[in-house]
Amino acid sequence: NGTGIVVDALIEPALLINPRLTAYLDFKIASNTDDLGDFIAVDLVPNIDWIMSDGNALNFSLKLGLAGDRKRQETGMAITLLRNM
């Protein structure tokens, strides 16, 4: 029908712990409906970047569903190698 509200937002406050460690507290908010309160998802994704050397970092993250009908149902964990080439 071409009407409705689409929201896809990322709020990412960061904390520099030391030159090699940075912590993030990501809030992901998403909705795709005629009413913003229906089918909304609010997920929390805390993560830490550990800088190992020039151009290499490891990211450790958890994924948790906080609120809403479409929130993440299972807790997830990820470890990602980030490389600047």
Mean pLDDT of the chain: 84
- Least Cα distance to 61 among 22, 8, 9 occurs for 22
Return d(Cα 11, Cα 9) in angstroms, integer: 7
Q: Is the pTM of this model over 0.85?
A: no
Q: State the average pLDDT over residues 26-49.
A: 81
CA-CA distances (angstroms) from residue 68 to 12, 21, 29, 45?
19, 32, 10, 15
Helices and strands in the chain: count of H runs, count of E runs: 0, 6
* Residue 55 pLDDT: 82
Q: State the average pLDDT over residues 38-61.
A: 88
Residue 17, pLDDT > 90, answer: yes
In tens, the pLDDT along 53-84 reads 888 999 999 988 887 777 778 889 999 998 98
Return d(Cα 1, Cα 83) in angstroms, integer: 44
Asked if 41 and 71 touch (Cβ cutoff 8 Å), the reply is: yes
Q: Which residue has the higher pLDDT, 34 or 55?
A: 55
